[in-house]
Amino acid sequence: MGIEMTGFAYLYSETGTKGGWWAMQQDGFLDCDYQGLQLLEEGDDFTVFADDGKRLRQGIVHQDTTTGFMSRQVIHEGTLVNDRDWKQQVVGGMWVHWVQAGIDPEEWGGLFIGEKRCLLTRTSILEIVSNMVDLIGRKLTSYVGGAKDVRAVDRWMSGGNSARVPSTG
């Protein structure tokens, strides 16, 4: 089920990204080749391995966009001040766009240091919803997905404009 990709884990950042994105550089592409760049997404199954091949961490990506929020510093009238409105998360002294829910942000960030091998399994919404319908039926699938009625299941499976399945956190 899903598409499996192997590569190495790293924190992707460049000018204009306004912080780092947790990512994987897929095998078979040049280092830091955009075609092989896979930014981690909500719901991805992500496994990171130690140098000896032992699994360091495996789980589903759940993006936490609030833990560890810090004010960004800006220069205002020649003085460095904290901007009350511009806050972002920090891991290892670097601005990031999210951290993994349920794990210490610094421990999570450590998984992306040193080009550790990883496995990323990405499953489409269509595949997830189809499997859920097969297992528990349309009505319960719509309920679990937070929909008001079962017609949402049809939209999710067709990939229409309303195909976004709500996050269950």
Instruction: Answer yes or no: do 56 and 138 share one domain.
Output: no
Residue 165 pLDDT:
47
pTM above 0.75, yes or no: no
71 in Cβ contact with 86 (< 8 Å):
yes
d(CA 94, CA 17) in angstroms, rounded, equals 12
Q: How far is CA 6 from CA 66, 71, 117, 137, in A?
A: 29, 36, 7, 33
Query: Is residue 74 situated within a structural domain?
Result: no
61 in Cβ contact with 43 (< 8 Å):
yes
Instruction: Answer yes or no: do 25 and 48 share one domain.
Output: yes
Residue 36 pLDDT:
92
Instruction: Answer yes or no: do 35 and 105 share one domain.
Output: yes
Tell me which residue range forms the domain holding 137: 125-158
Flag residues of the chain having pLDDT under 50.
161-169
Question: What residue type is 20 in one-letter code?
Answer: G
d(CA 116, CA 63) in angstroms, rounded, equals 21
Instruction: Answer yes or no: do 133 and 50 share one domain.
Output: no
Per-residue pLDDT reduced to its tens digit, 12-58: 999 888 899 999 999 998 766 788 999 999 889 999 999 999 999 99
Q: How far is CA 9 from CA 35, 39, 47, 50, 69, in A?
A: 15, 10, 10, 11, 23
Instruction: Answer yes or no: do 26 and 103 share one domain.
Output: yes
Residue holding tokens 């399945």? 165
Instruction: Answer yes or no: do 59 and 99 share one domain.
Output: yes
Instruction: Answer yes or no: do 99 and 130 share one domain.
Output: no
Number of domains the chain contains: 2
d(CA 124, CA 133) in angstroms, rounded, equals 14
Phi (first) and psi of residue 57, to 5 degrees: -160, 140
Query: Is residue 52 situated within a structural domain?
Result: yes
Query: Is residue 83 situated within a structural domain?
Result: no
